[in-house]
Amino acid sequence: MSRLYLRLIIIPFLMISAALIVIQARPYDDHALREFLLPEGCPAPCFMGIRPGVTTMTEAERLLNESQWVGKITFANSTYIAWTWSGEQPTWINQTPKGTLSGADNTVTALQVGSRIRFGDMQLDMGRTGILEQWAYQTGRYATYTVSYPEHHLKLNFMVDCKNRIRYLQPVTIIFGDNLTDDNRSVGSNLQWSFFKCSA
């Protein structure tokens, strides 16, 4: 009987291990992700033809109205624009949260998009050279983080559930913008995983 139980344990374990080895051995294809984050012909930061620091709020509103990805603009003034998604947007865009633009002096300063892209995939593409900050937490429940990549003019926001802490699987909110960090910290190997915790 004990041999039977041993087989029932070992066989699934070997099958799962083999599957994981195959997955790890597959080359990582980041073409679609990089095209989304760093489109050719539109210098970063750029999304949907809108370039924070360059595009005016008036021009951004026009581009959004012309985009097939946009359902409708729900709010627009000289400093803020919000819109819903049409369903025609790429699958990696999470259409539940609205897309938003922030601006100053009639110029776009930042663009925020909810995504289905996992933090782990972003890390594979962007590398472990971001600036990591924990900016909110509730002990034992959740912690929220920001990872900034100033060289790419990108910032990622995501939440970690304290019960599982599987940070690599968390979807990220992507912020495109100029001057996303307000300090002079170096961009080195700053993603120290011991930092991911659910307390101060």
The number of domains in the chain is 1
Amino acid at 38: L
Q: Looking at the domain assignment, is residue 12 inside a domain?
A: no
Q: Looking at the domain assignment, is residue 13 inside a domain?
A: no
Q: What confidence tens digit (pLDDT) does each residue in 133-178 have?
A: 776 666 667 778 888 888 888 888 887 777 665 667 788 888 898 7
Q: Are 171 and 116 in contact (CB under 8 A)?
A: yes
pLDDT at residue number 3:
57
Q: How many residues does the chain have?
A: 200
Looking up tokens 């995939």, which residue turns up?
Answer: 121
- Which residue segment(s) compose the domain that 173 sits in? 30-195
Residue ranges in the chain modelled with pLDDT below 70 = 1-34, 127-128, 135-140, 163-167, 179-200
Quick one: DSSP state of residue 27? P
Q: Looking at the domain assignment, is residue 53 inside a domain?
A: yes
Q: Looking at the domain assignment, is residue 50 inside a domain?
A: yes
What is this structure's pTM? Answer: 0.71
Q: Looking at the domain assignment, is residue 9 inside a domain?
A: no
